[in-house]
Chain A
């Protein structure tokens, strides 16, 4: 059943998830140096392409796998900083990547996991975050074509942050449109969305052409309106936001 994009949707998307890229903070290009990555995807072409991109940007591609078993073996062997995995892999082609991510996070707390999917769904994002909200990412697969943004994402996960696809954040914000989130101004909603992407106040300020001081004021207002205590840590901000969105 084709589902035509409903009216009004585009507006929401734009306010909630500004286009990625462009303004991304490439503050420290050498930050990738030495970050070890394991890749898993059943498409060899895509995997090789991703490996090239990451290698070109200073990452070390420590291993590649075509299915979940291969991925677990590679993680066991290499203990990388970050795993980038497709969600659908053989044998059942459903959500092997998601299950593998949960397992890796449980067994190797130091290894971050970025799950890529052709579709992003709220339920899967929540599944990924609910047990171990640090060092996880969940992105639409074609986001990798914005190389700067993508490599930055991998770096953020390696540093301990969490990244959720803007589309998921948009859905979550829309879903709660009748709740306390309705009290946020559209600028505050933009900032909340960027917070869910694991960005620092400085990065948010650069993205929205605001001074860090202004961003800080907005963040404080958001926390006050949502009744949350402000926290310094990037991933704890994500956790707070997502947990709030999930349970509101």
Chain B
């Protein structure tokens, strides 16, 4: 046994003496009550207090239990016919017990009062109890009431009015104090996280017990003290008080009970888990629904979630809502981080993490694969976007450069031609040059349009697709249910899907018409190009359709080519566009 345990043992024996001694004094003073039942709550608080001090050192609830034992048995010692003791026992024992119980309740389970309001409530309760004790100590003189045994009461300023007033005020204030106490408990409940609420449950049980006891007291008080019924009530009260320290102790030690949930966790994890299910299992086992699991990257700094998305750990900053991070390691290497409620027992979190070790390592590998996949996808998207940006730049250069110069040149030629009207040979040459130039301008226009259509930049997707339809060799119907602009990588992707698909329809499908549908629904752009031709298109063959599929995938979209049984081909692309 350690020195501390010896000390606790000695304290326990001393207090046992205090309780039993008190009863012994009462027996000898012929106090009419069941001394065994009277001693039970004291013994219960005593044992619970010592166990709490042993198992939760540093938590003051154990000390409060001890203090409650000392204070509540002062009254019994008050029957000792020794100077001063009866007065102190009677007044202090009567008033302070309730205050200590309230303190215990509000500081449960950590032993600390958290908010200013809680400290104020407890301070006021102690203050009122102390003042009432002092007044009674100074003014109560039972000899004035003809108490024969009360020769040793100390009453330097005997005053019946003062005592009655103090009692009345303490009673009335007591009612308000109980309400304040309940308000503080309710506030704590409201601000508590789910994990904290689980811990607060015993407190509610205790509050209910005290309420029942007090109601019984209120019910019993009209009866004269001597009535057997009142005794019965008192004894029932005593028995209920026996349960209080047990409830508190159970709550204090319940983190150990929660470990059985870790056992359930081991059983749950003994099967393949879908992504994210591990988090749910851990959250259930630890009763912390918002619990998060992040995974360490392999050979890289940073963290990802189960889906492979980069995430960062919460700052270890202050604040009541700050999360606690528990890093799970294997072989000195960080594997995962549990981001959980700070109220959770650290040992319990460690136990759960250890139980889930295999599953965590497994899900981390999956997260790593997803993260790498996401990086590849992002780099593909960047490559496609860079290509699109380059095409736009080239188109713009052609527009501002060659096209503009050629238009100016055509104008100059026309002016020359006007002046050369008198020279038919010159006029014929100039006409020929002008015709050549017109042809060149037309070809350059088609080239630039193929590189990147200006209408797409200027007016958006539906207008650009209508322009495509205008130039298609086949009759093409365009149905668009929106006219807004979309992010340009999405517009460009959708445009090239339509352009390439219509080109395919013209070249291979032997169709007499085609239909282009553009629709937006639930943040998804849907592009469908349907023809009535011979069908037989296959996305897996031919670089055109394959290239489209790659482009669409690069912007997180899906791409499909259907050949409906009733003929024709349908190219369908769905692209997410959260705009």
Contacts and interface: CB of A to CB of B under 8 A. Distances in A.
Contacts of B459: 95, 121, 123-124
Interface stretch (A24-32, A103-111, A139-147, A205-213): A139-147
Contacts of A49: 408, 411-412, 415
A49 B503 CA distance: 39
A3 B411 contact: no
Nearest to B396: A93
A212 B473 CA distance: 34
B445 interface: yes
A94 interface: yes
Nearest to A86: B404
Interface stretch (A169-177, A194-202, A232-240): A169-177
B378 to A, nearest CB: 25
B408 A118 contact: no
A174 B467 CA distance: 12
B467 A123 contact: yes
B155 to A, nearest CB: 96
B498 to A, nearest CB: 11
Given A52-B415, A142-B438, A175-B475, A118 B399 contact: yes
A151 B480 CA distance: 38
B567 interface: no
Task: Determine the main DSSP class of B at the interface with A.
Answer: helix
Interface in A114-147: 118-119, 121-124, 141-142, 144-147
Nearest to B419: A56
A80 to B, nearest CB: 20
B399 A1 contact: no
A93 B393 CA distance: 12
Given A3-B449, A147-B415, A88 B466 contact: no
Interface in A162-192: 171, 174-175, 177-178
Contact of A123 (B399, B437, B463, B500): B463
Contacts of B447: 2
Given A145-B410, A145-B438, A6 B466 contact: no
B499 A1 contact: yes
A144 B410 contact: yes
A118 B463 contact: no
* Interface size class of chain A, counting residues whose CB lies under 8 Å from the partner chain: 35 or more
A53 B414 contact: yes
A52 B407 CA distance: 15
A123 B466 contact: yes
B503 A3 contact: yes
Contact of B470 (A7, A144, A171): A171
Contacts of A124: 455, 458-459, 463
A5 B446 contact: yes
Given A119-B449, A119-B454, A142-B410, A178 B475 contact: yes
B466 A46 contact: no
A121 B407 contact: no
Interface string A47-61: 001101100100000
B236 interface: no
Interface of B: 396, 399-400, 403-404, 406-408, 410-415, 418, 434, 437-438, 441, 445-451, 453-455, 457-459, 462-463, 466-467, 469-475, 496, 499-500, 503, 506, 513
Given A118-B454, A124-B458, 15 more contacts: A2-B446, A3-B499, A5-B446, A8-B473, A53-B411, A118-B407, A119-B453, A121-B459, A121-B463, A121-B466, A121-B470, A141-B407, A142-B441, A144-B407, A145-B414
